[in-house]
Structure 1
Amino acid sequence: STMTSTEEKIIVVSWAGDDDPENPKNWTNTQKWIVTGLISTSMMLSHMSSSMIAPAARDVAKDLGSTSPIFEPLLTSVFILAYGKAEPTTWNFLSAFLYFVSIAHVLGRSRVVQLANVFYIVFNLLCAFAKDPNTMWLCRFFAGIGASCAAGSASVGLLLAIVGAPRGPSRGVALLAIPSLLGPVIGPIVGAWLVMNTTWKWIFWLTSIAAVFDQVGSFFWLKENTSRVISRIYPKYTIRWHSRLSLILCPTSPSLTHMILLLHPVFLLLTEPMIQLLGIYIGRLSDFLTVILTSIPDIFVVVYHESLGIAGLHYIAFGIGLYGGAQIADATQNELYRCLSARYGTTGRPEYRILIILPATLLVTIGLLITGTSQS
């Protein structure tokens, strides 16, 4: 469709009608559930991989001949450095997440997700064959790059584009929260028992095997749903800059469009103070999460002399806190939003939803203090 401007005609890419079978909202319920399951599995594996190696870090260091005190924490954190917790934070603004998001708008979400999953599988598998610490760190870093897409905007966009699930968007959002919250918890529990009964290499073999099965399913079922890529109206574009990075599409050069789309996230990160502040805040929370994930084995194995498998079960309490906190925060912020909107007689402002950050940050501080003092 087109609309007339005082300067030129603006071309809007859209579906070929409300009944277009390529539109993901017109997919059958079976298709929606299959895609939801595939993407949720991919996200779960990505989040599990970030922390699954934590209980085995000491065994990995011994087998690779590393005596460095930074090897064990870096084994987890180097993955998260590239993975970035799928957040465009200031401490990892060069992470692959930013670029996968942009590339997905150019090449299509489905293609980018599948290519990134293959990238993850290859380097995650190579971790099991590493012979020295440097090779292990390098493979973990590149595996994190691939995983960053599986848990990033490309996968989220695929899922939300089909309204999450057949029963509506709320169910889809709930399914999105499960892998991201429980993945870092289930991973160390499984990893601890694998190390006790087999070898740490099975951590990488098992996740790679599961990712291969998920990739095969994605190849057959994960259809493209980016309107820019599959729409029957696909003109050539250029992008004209307006205030605050707003974009208007008009026909000329596709190469300039692609360049702008690739650089757009970086421009937003460098020019938007709100994104920078939230990035710093979320980055610090990710740091705290990494500290807890890597400290639990040492706390309960070294200080309390528990077996590695039993120590891994303490991640369950961590998972209950993550999931329970998310549910409480969701209900609380919705109620605050409703009450403040009614009190001030407005339609609501985004700032009403972030008030929950203050008590939540205080709880994080209290939890870290209790964790530290309980070791003495």
Structure 2
Amino acid sequence: MPEPLFRHPSRSEIIELAVAEGHDADILSNAGSIRRIPSHSPSQHPEKDSSFIIEKDTEKATEEESISSDEEVEDVAEHGPDIVFWDGPDDPQNPMNWASAKKWGTVALVSAITFLTPLASSMFAPGVPEVMKTFNSTDEMLEGFMVSVYVLGFAIGPMIIAPLSEMYGRLPLYHSCNSFFVLFCVAAALSTNMSMFIAFRFFMGCFGGAPLVLGGGTIADLITREQRGTAMVVWMMGPTIGPCVGPIIGGFLTEAKGWRWNFWFVAIVAGAFLVLSIILMNETSAPVILERKAKRLRASTGNPKLRSKLASELSAKDLFKFSIVRPVKMLTRSYICLAMSIYVAITYAYLYVLFTTFTAVFKTQYGWHGGIVGLSFLGLGLGSLIGQTVFTHYGNRTATKHIARGDFKPEHRLYIMAAGGPFLPVGLFWYGWSVQAQTHFMVPIVGTGVIGFGLLMTFMPASTYLVDVYTIHAASAMAANTVLRSLAAALLPLSSQKMYTAMGYGWGNSLLGFVGLLLVPIPFLFIKYGERIRKGNVVKL
């Protein structure tokens, strides 16, 4: 039986759990927080007030603080008769003590929802020409934007969902966001003009981002550290593989039933998941469960002093401030966050350039029609899957080796990024010129596999690097990264059709490849100068 939090958790444990839950480590989690953030004014002697914030420069953390410090941190609340916590190590209310079937059933359901919503981002891509005919549009910009606008919702929705989940728990956000997601899927299927369709796609993305925000925290609530890695890998397959699998399904579905059935299909499956989640899922956030327990006890005992050991002293205003303002500060003031975010944003945008053009490319160059067009996305999906596997194995092995030696630096995360970065431009050159020459269709599909591999080998190491650099503010760095990449993925594909018309598929993709080549030195520069930059470029939050 896992041991609930009766001992003071270490700094690294709190940071790890906070990252999984998608918030900074100075915001309360199941393990507490790095420091208290009082809603009242601090004392006149902050050095003597254990709950007073002393803001720390984000990037001045030592190596020990940033990855493996086991120093004990201030407990989230004092022990006393008015403090409400778990009723012993076997308390059945503690999600860590739930039956295995209930825990893993919840993880499976959350992972399925997390797979469905990214899948919906690109599922109808093969049906884009049919949508254009339905709405009598020939605007090439709208042709790309109707696919990528979904990702714009991914940038905006989570910024609001994250602080709301800290205030009200995970379950209300799952249910409400899933309900709205189904509603806007139905609305998109029933759209009667292009404006309606694009607006509903945007709101699908806003609410579809909920499992991406909440899923990691749910897994961290339920699964012990020893078993959490497996669950997180399964959960992460949604955002990495889902967008590549979607068009394969969508291609055949569009041919058989028309483009609207892509949305009916998603609405039906999402609706089934919603019903299952209402029936089977329970709240897993320890602060919320304990707060409800404290409220019941205050009512039954008449003691107004009772409060949860994990009670948050953050106001709603502070939660939204940290969720929105901190990422903007990091993106505008930190060289590391800005450079990594630009790299990831450009490479992620390339993914949606391909999503919005594959159908036209394989129709015009290879004469593919109907459901078979969806198979053009297969190489990208397989390449992404291989990239995730390679990163998980070799990236973690490199970090583990240096941690065991005691000389780990965040820059060690970038070795695999430096090795994998060149695959992206190579894949773009391969794909572009093989399509231009109309070689056998397997040649460009293999090229897209190389692109998918390169994407994952840049995206995943950059994310883990930001976590290790920013430690307690890692979630804000990740949010900054997410916003910039989502904006790029929504806007850059708008000009892709015009680019290919003007330059051809060979030189058009070569242009993207040359930009990718310019980005390749970034991890090498940070491997050599990253530590110096971290100490010289300080961001105060």
Q: Which band: TM-score by shorter chain?
A: 0.7 to 0.9
Question: Structure 1 residue aligned with 2:166, among 89, 105, 121?
Answer: 105
Question: Structure 2 residue aligned with 1:228, among 287, 290, 301?
Answer: 287
Aligned to 1:372: 432
> How far apart, in 2, do the equivalents of 1:17 and 1:271 lie?
42
> How far apart, in 2, do the equivalents of 1:270 and 1:8 lie?
29
1:144 and 2:205 are equivalent in the alignment: yes
| CA drift at 1:197 | 1.1
Farther off after superposition, 153-162 or 186-195 = 153-162
* Residues 360 and 192 of structure 1: CA distance in aligned 2, closer, same or farther (over 3 Å): same
> How far apart, in 2, do the equivalents of 1:228 and 1:337 lie?
32
Letter in 2 for 1:199: G
1:279 and 2:345 are equivalent in the alignment: no
1:289 and 2:351 are equivalent in the alignment: yes
Aligned to 1:298: 360
Aligned to 1:310: 372
Aligned to 2:190: 129
* Residues 36 and 251 of structure 1: CA distance in aligned 2, closer, same or farther (over 3 Å): closer
The 8 Å contact of residues 269 and 276 in structure 1, kept in 2 or not, is answered as no
* Residues 289 and 164 of structure 1: CA distance in aligned 2, closer, same or farther (over 3 Å): farther
The 8 Å contact of residues 36 and 164 in structure 1, kept in 2 or not, is answered as no
Aligned to 1:346: 406
| CA drift at 1:294 | 1.9
> How far apart, in 2, do the equivalents of 1:53 and 1:348 lie?
44
Letter in 2 for 1:174: V
| CA drift at 1:264 | 0.8
Letter in 1 for 2:428: L
> How far apart, in 2, do the equivalents of 1:122 and 1:180 lie?
21
> How far apart, in 1, do the equivalents of 2:147 and 2:275 lie?
27
* Residues 275 and 19 of structure 1: CA distance in aligned 2, closer, same or farther (over 3 Å): farther
Q: Choose 1 or 2 for highest CA Rg.
A: 2
Aligned to 2:319: 261
> How far apart, in 1, do the equivalents of 2:311 and 2:399 lie?
44
Aligned to 2:518: none
The 8 Å contact of residues 216 and 232 in structure 2, kept in 1 or not, is answered as no
3-state SS of 2:217 partner: helix
Aligned to 2:118: 47
> How far apart, in 2, do the equivalents of 1:49 and 1:40 lie?
15
The 8 Å contact of residues 158 and 225 in structure 1, kept in 2 or not, is answered as yes
* Deviations 1:209-240 (CA, angstroms, capped at 9, x unpaired): 100110001112221111221115759xxxxx
> How far apart, in 2, do the equivalents of 1:182 and 1:2 lie?
39
| CA drift at 1:354 | 2.4
Aligned to 1:153: 213
Farther off after superposition, 68-77 or 257-266 = 257-266
> How far apart, in 2, do the equivalents of 1:23 and 1:302 lie?
58
Structure 2 gaps of 5+ residues are: 1-5, 9-35, 37-46, 52-75, 79-83, 296-307, 437-541
* Residues 139 and 331 of structure 1: CA distance in aligned 2, closer, same or farther (over 3 Å): same
> How far apart, in 1, do the equivalents of 2:365 and 2:232 lie?
39
The 8 Å contact of residues 341 and 348 in structure 1, kept in 2 or not, is answered as yes
3-state SS of 1:374 partner: helix
The 8 Å contact of residues 164 and 173 in structure 1, kept in 2 or not, is answered as no
TM-score (norm: length of structure 1): 0.85
1:328 and 2:393 are equivalent in the alignment: no
> How far apart, in 2, do the equivalents of 1:105 and 1:75 lie?
32
> How far apart, in 1, do the equivalents of 2:162 and 2:131 lie?
33
* Residues 251 and 294 of structure 1: CA distance in aligned 2, closer, same or farther (over 3 Å): closer
Farther off after superposition, 26-35 or 3-12 = 3-12
1:203 and 2:266 are equivalent in the alignment: no
Aligned to 2:49: 7
| CA drift at 1:176 | 1.1
* Residues 208 and 7 of structure 1: CA distance in aligned 2, closer, same or farther (over 3 Å): same
> How far apart, in 1, do the equivalents of 2:350 and 2:169 lie?
34
1:357-368 map, 5 Å = 357-368=417-428
Farther off after superposition, 170-179 or 186-195 = 170-179
Letter in 2 for 1:321: G
Question: Structure 1 residue aligned with 2:102, among 31, 37, 40?
Answer: 31
3-state SS of 1:313 partner: helix
> How far apart, in 1, do the equivalents of 2:50 and 2:397 lie?
46
| CA drift at 1:30 | 1.1
> How far apart, in 1, do the equivalents of 2:253 and 2:243 lie?
16
Structure 1 gaps of 5+ residues are: 85-94, 236-248
The 8 Å contact of residues 177 and 207 in structure 2, kept in 1 or not, is answered as yes
1:80 and 2:146 are equivalent in the alignment: no
* Residues 252 and 210 of structure 1: CA distance in aligned 2, closer, same or farther (over 3 Å): closer
Letter in 2 for 1:144: G
Letter in 1 for 2:202: F
Letter in 1 for 2:113: S
| CA drift at 1:192 | 0.5
The percent of aligned pairs where both chains have the same amino acid is 24
| CA drift at 1:177 | 2.4
3-state SS of 2:161 partner: helix
| CA drift at 1:118 | 0.9
**Paired residues, number:** 348
> How far apart, in 2, do the equivalents of 1:230 and 1:15 lie?
10
| CA drift at 1:341 | 4.5
| CA drift at 1:366 | 1.3
The 8 Å contact of residues 215 and 235 in structure 2, kept in 1 or not, is answered as no
Letter in 1 for 2:77: I
Output the aligned Cα RMSD.
Answer: 2.8
The 8 Å contact of residues 24 and 161 in structure 1, kept in 2 or not, is answered as yes
Aligned to 1:117: 178
* Deviations 1:45-97 (CA, angstroms, capped at 9, x unpaired): 1011100011000100100111211122111110111124xxxxxxxxxx111
Letter in 1 for 2:423: L
> How far apart, in 1, do the equivalents of 2:294 and 2:160 lie?
23
> How far apart, in 2, do the equivalents of 1:185 and 1:111 lie?
30
> How far apart, in 1, do the equivalents of 2:97 and 2:312 lie?
32
| CA drift at 1:339 | 4.0
> How far apart, in 2, do the equivalents of 1:105 and 1:301 lie?
47
TM-score (norm: length of structure 2): 0.60
Letter in 1 for 2:254: V
